[in-house]
A and B are shown apart, each in its own frame.
Chain A
Amino acid sequence: MMIECKKLTVNFGNGEGIRNINASFNEGEFTLLLGPTGCGKSTLMRVIYMDILPTKGHINIRKWDSRKISKRQILHLRREIGIIFQDFRLIENLSVFENVALPLIMTGHSRRIIKDRVEVILDEVGLLETWHQKAGSLSGGEKQRVAIARAIVKNPFLVLADEPTGNLDPEAANTVFELLRKINSLGTAVIMATHNYGLIEDTDYRRIYMENGSLMDL
């Protein structure tokens, strides 16, 4: 088991959040997180990379336990999870290369290793020729592919994608989804929250439905 949630609860203090979630996620699995806006998809994802700690219950992600994790360990956890957001969250005044290389730079890899690795990954997302461009100058679809490259450059065991196609036109959305499928086919688990039912209708990935901060029993 890669992730195990037990009575996982996040209370934002205004009665909102997620409630009493029991769920588990397997290594290498592609999971779709579905449900209306405000049902708690983002909150669940934020708990997984420990951007929020549970108010009640707990979550175990591989060797990390939300009840015992230290600040330093939270950073290590985040370095082993790739995260993709609807709003890309690139550093716009840095080059595409620097954005993708960031996770490797911060962990102290050598320039040669970083260049080789980033080259392979940028080629994989089809953006090799944008290497020197500022991230801010790219189109939405390109930005999201850079974000994907940044997420997978460190060989994560899990990629979290929170509405990754929410800001993209259908064609770009398709490219992004295909990339995520490819990543998953190479063995990385993916948890993707989405509204885009058209995009996923032909897939038989595991689906989890949320409503009002709880999982729906199906």
Chain B
Amino acid sequence: MRLSFITKQTFINLWTARIPALIAVFTIGISLSIVIGMSLLGYKAINSFDLFQDKFEIEVFLHPDLSREEILKVQNELASINQIKMINYVSKEEAARIFKQEFGEDIYEILDENPLPASFHIKLYKQMTHPGIVENVAHRIEILPGVDDVKYHKEILILIEKYFRLFSLVGTGVIFALLIAMNILIKNTIKLSVYARRKQIAILQQLGAGGLFIRLPYIFEGIIEGALGGVFAGFLLHTAFRAVNFSVQYIFDISLEFSPIIWTVAISAGTVMGLLSSNRAAKSFMYLFARDDY
């Protein structure tokens, strides 16, 4: 009968303080959906950044009239650069084949002679794909004898670096701020609930009730508010994903798939949040020894 009594108390408490409880649920829902939404976007961004880093190449074009030995010498020089992970030689013939692949035209049919130079395609180690480092490496390669030109997507690199850093900084900041805000909100709602029942709590303590017996209704209250906030967050995310997918998908090639796991994540995150925040709050206004200031 203990558990059913505690459960009943929980719902009585929730019902008597239904306005603050509703406010808490809505605010938790909004905050949680922002936190989860931003985390998902962050995850996507990290993935695309990863993909970009994987694909990132520096092209090193060689003088047209280098001998085999001279080409090998350039390759050896390149191999001695620490930041470089992979070197791929692309001969004139191969360049022509790639050209055909990409543009659908045979270079020999347009021109008599193949004007495409031989080149090295270089991949750097992932952690080296920062504008400064890449520029440095490119510069070292440029001055090698036999190298005609060095090309890479400098602007994209700089853009990504700049926004990625800004995004992750702001994102982390916002996520933390919202987590703290939710924590404070639940704590205060529960504290209010406990405070409103301080007399009842004093009576229970005089009767010798255990701490958990007294606290559990308030902890359950926090858990329910958190879980309902999670449900609301899931609903908000679901709606937001549909809207975003509809309008943005074709521009950025980011398709946000709303997986049912998001429901699970939102509700469990809300529940854990509610538990952690209310457990501490439920201990306020509980005194083993009676006070006169009620």
A75 pairs with B209, CB closer than 8 A? yes
Chain B residues with Cβ under 8 A from A114's Cβ?
Answer: 1
Chain B residues with Cβ under 8 A from A101's Cβ?
Answer: 1
Chain A residues with Cβ under 8 A from B144's Cβ?
Answer: none
Chain A residues with Cβ under 8 A from B200's Cβ?
Answer: 91
A106 pairs with B289, CB closer than 8 A? no
| Chain B residue at minimal CB-CB distance from A78 | B208
8 Å CB interface, A11-55 against B: 46, 49-53
A91 pairs with B203, CB closer than 8 A? yes
Question: Given the complex of chains A and B, what is the CA–CA distance between A76 and B205 in angstroms?
Answer: 11
Known contacts A89-B203, A114-B1; A52/B208 CB under 8 A: no
Question: Given the complex of chains A and B, what is the CA–CA distance between A76 and B207 in angstroms?
Answer: 9
CB of B68 closer than 8 Å to a CB of A: no
Question: Given the complex of chains A and B, what is the CA–CA distance between A84 and B204 in angstroms?
Answer: 13
- Residue from A51, A83, A106 in contact with B210 in the complex, judged by beta carbons closer than 8 Å: A106
CB of B66 closer than 8 Å to a CB of A: no
- The count of A-to-B residue pairs whose CB atoms sit within 8 angstroms is 55
Question: Given the complex of chains A and B, what is the CA–CA distance between A78 and B290 in angstroms?
Answer: 13
- Residue from A75, A76, A77, A111 in contact with B1 in the complex, judged by beta carbons closer than 8 Å: A111
B210 pairs with A75, CB closer than 8 A? yes
B223 to chain A, nearest CB (A): 21
| Chain A residue at minimal CB-CB distance from B197 | A91
CB of A195 closer than 8 Å to a CB of B: no
| Chain B residue at minimal CB-CB distance from A90 | B203
Chain B residues with Cβ under 8 A from A79's Cβ?
Answer: 207-208
CB of A198 closer than 8 Å to a CB of B: no
- Residue from B2, B206, B213 in contact with A78 in the complex, judged by beta carbons closer than 8 Å: B206
Chain A residues with Cβ under 8 A from B209's Cβ?
Answer: 75, 102, 106
Question: Given the complex of chains A and B, what is the CA–CA distance between A36 and B213 in angstroms?
Answer: 38
Question: Given the complex of chains A and B, what is the CA–CA distance between A55 and B205 in angstroms?
Answer: 21
B203 pairs with A51, CB closer than 8 A? no
CB of B166 closer than 8 Å to a CB of A: no
Question: Given the complex of chains A and B, what is the CA–CA distance between A93 and B289 in angstroms?
Answer: 24
B290 pairs with A46, CB closer than 8 A? yes
Known contacts A51-B290, A74-B288; A106/B206 CB under 8 A: no
A83 pairs with B1, CB closer than 8 A? no
- Residue from B12, B207, B290 in contact with A106 in the complex, judged by beta carbons closer than 8 Å: B207
CB of A206 closer than 8 Å to a CB of B: no
- Residue from A46, A78, A109 in contact with B207 in the complex, judged by beta carbons closer than 8 Å: A78
Count the A residues whose beta carbon is within 8 Å of the partner chain — how many?
Answer: 30
Chain B residues with Cβ under 8 A from A77's Cβ?
Answer: 208
| Chain A residue at minimal CB-CB distance from B202 | A89
Chain A residues with Cβ under 8 A from B250's Cβ?
Answer: none
A51 pairs with B206, CB closer than 8 A? yes
B206 pairs with A103, CB closer than 8 A? no
Residues 103-117 of A, flagged 1 when their CB comes within 8 A of B and 0 if not, give 101101111001000
B6 to chain A, nearest CB (A): 9
Chain A residues with Cβ under 8 A from B203's Cβ?
Answer: 89-91
| Chain A residue at minimal CB-CB distance from B201 | A91
Q: Which of the listed residues B203, B205, B208, B213 has the most CB atoms from chain A within 10 Å of its own CB?
A: B208
CB of A71 closer than 8 Å to a CB of B: yes
CB of A163 closer than 8 Å to a CB of B: no
B285 to chain A, nearest CB (A): 16
| Chain A residue at minimal CB-CB distance from B1 | A111
A40 to chain B, nearest CB (A): 15
CB of A98 closer than 8 Å to a CB of B: yes
Q: Which of the listed residues B2, B4, B204, B205 has the most CB atoms from chain A within 10 Å of its own CB?
A: B2
A5 to chain B, nearest CB (A): 18
Question: Given the complex of chains A and B, what is the CA–CA distance between A130 and B4 in angstroms?
Answer: 22
Chain B residues with Cβ under 8 A from A105's Cβ?
Answer: 1-2, 5
| Chain B residue at minimal CB-CB distance from A114 | B1
| Chain A residue at minimal CB-CB distance from B210 | A75
B10 to chain A, nearest CB (A): 14
Known contacts A90-B203, A111-B4; can you find 15 more A-B pairs with CB under 8 A? A46-B290, A49-B206, A50-B289, A51-B289, A75-B209, A75-B210, A76-B208, A89-B206, A98-B5, A103-B207, A106-B2, A106-B213, A111-B1, A114-B1, A150-B207
Which A residues are within 8 Å of any B CB, using their own CB?
A: 46, 49-53, 71, 74-79, 83, 89-91, 93, 98, 101-103, 105-106, 108-111, 114, 150
- Identify 20 residue pairs between A and B in the complex whose beta-carbon atoms are under 8 Å apart, listed by A's number: A50-B289, A51-B289, A51-B290, A52-B290, A53-B289, A75-B209, A75-B210, A79-B207, A83-B206, A83-B207, A91-B200, A98-B5, A102-B207, A103-B208, A105-B1, A105-B5, A106-B207, A106-B209, A110-B1, A111-B1
Top 10 A-B pairs ranked by shortest CB distance? A78-B208, A79-B208, A111-B1, A75-B208, A106-B209, A51-B290, A105-B5, A106-B213, A108-B2, A89-B203
